[in-house]
Amino acid sequence: MPAADVVVTGIGMVTPLGATAAESASAWDSGGSVQSAPVPELAGTSLAHLRAAAAQPLDAAARLGSRKMLKYMSESAVLGCVAAHEAVEAAGVRRRFDPDRVGLYSGIGMAGASLADALPALAASVGPSGRVESRLMGERGLAAANPLMSFKILPNMPGCLVSITEGIRGPNLIFTPWEGQTGAALAEGWKAVASGAVDCALCGAADNPAHPAILVHLARSGRLPSGQHVAAAAAYLVLERVGTARRDGHRPIASLADVTIEACDEEPSDPLSGRMGRSFAAAPAVLLALACALPSGAPRVSIVGVDRQRFSAAVGGRP
Amino acid sequence: MRRVAVTGFGVVSPVGIGREAFWSALAAGASGIGRITRFDPSTFAVQLAGEVRGRLELPKAVDEIAGRDPKVGFAFAAAAEALASAGNPRLGVKSLLHLGTSLETFDLDALVFDERRDFRSIVEGERPLQVSLDTAGELIRRYFRDMAINGSGPFILTNVSACAASAQAIGHGFHAVRSGETELALCGGFDSMVNPLGVGGFQLLGALSTENDRGESGCRPFDASRSGAVLGEGAAMLVLEPLEKARAEGRTVLAEVSGCGSTLDAHGLSAPDPEGRGAERAMRAALADAGIAPEAVGHVNAHGTGTRLNDEVEAAAIRRVFAASWQRLPVSATKSLTGHLIGAAGAVEAGACLLALVKGLLPPNPWLRKVAPGCELDHVVGTNARAFDGEYALSNSFGFGGQNASLVFRRVR
Nearest CA in chain B to A124: B112
Interface membership of A122 toward B (CB under 8 Å): yes
In chain A, where the domains are located:
3-113+154-316
Q: Is B163 a catalytic residue?
A: yes
pLDDT of residue A260: 95
Residue B74 has pLDDT above 80, yes or no: yes
From A206, A226, A204, select the one nearest A215 (Cα to Cα).
A226
Q: Is B303 a catalytic residue?
A: yes
Q: What's the sign of the alpha-carbon dihedral B42, A140, A144, B103? A: negative
Query: Nearest Cβ partner of A263 from B39, B45, B153?
Result: B153
From chain A, pick out residues whose CB is under 8 angstroms from the CB of B119: 41-42, 45, 212
Best of B103, B150, B160, B342 to mutate (most A CBs within 10 Å, chain A): B160
% residues pLDDT > 70 (chain B): 98
Query: Nearest Cβ partner of B264 from A104, A110, A113?
Result: A104
From chain A, pick out residues whose CB is under 8 angstroms from the CB of B112: 119, 122-123, 126, 132
Q: Taking residues A233-242, what's their average pLDDT? A: 98
pLDDT of residue B152: 73
DSSP-derived letter for residue B271 is S
Q: Which of residues 138-197 of A touch B (CB under 8 A)?
A: 138-139, 141-142, 145, 147, 149-151, 153-157, 159-161, 163-164, 166-178, 180-181, 184, 188
ipTM of this complex prediction, to 2 decimal places: 0.96
Superfamily for the A3-113+154-316 domain: Thiolase/Chalcone synthase (3.40.47.10)
pLDDT of residue A26: 96
Question: pLDDT digit string (tens) for B99-153?
Answer: 999 988 888 877 776 555 667 777 887 777 788 899 999 999 999 998 777 667 7
pLDDT of residue B150: 65
CATH class of B4-410: alpha beta
Question: pLDDT digit string (tens) for B168-190?
Answer: 999 999 999 999 999 999 999 99
Q: Which residues have CB under 8 Å from A171's CB, separation 6+? A: A103, A104, A192, A197, A198, B262, B263, B285
pLDDT of residue A4: 54
Q: How many CB pairs under 8 A join A and B?
A: 231
pLDDT of residue A150: 83
SS (H, E, C) A289-319: HHHHHCCCCCCEEEEECCCCEEEEEEEECCC
Q: Is B340 a catalytic residue?
A: yes
Residues A174 and A155 sit within 8 Å (Cβ to Cβ) = yes
Question: pLDDT digit string (tens) for B342-365?
Answer: 999 999 999 999 999 999 999 999
Q: Taking residues B72-101, what's their average pLDDT? A: 96
Helix residue ranges, H only, chain A: 21-29, 60-64, 75-91, 93-96, 115-123, 134-136, 142-144, 149-153, 157-166, 179-195, 212-220, 242-247, 273-276, 283-293
pLDDT of residue B271: 83
Q: Which of residues 285-304 of A touch B (CB under 8 A)?
A: none
In chain B, where the domains are located:
4-410
DSSP-derived letter for residue A69 is T
Question: pLDDT digit string (tens) for B263-277?
Answer: 999 998 878 899 999
Question: pLDDT digit string (tens) for A199-217?
Answer: 999 999 999 998 888 898 8
pLDDT of residue B210: 98
From chain B, pick out residues whose CB is under 8 angstroms from the CB of A145: 200, 204
Q: Kindly report the average pLDDT of chain B as a whole number.
A: 95
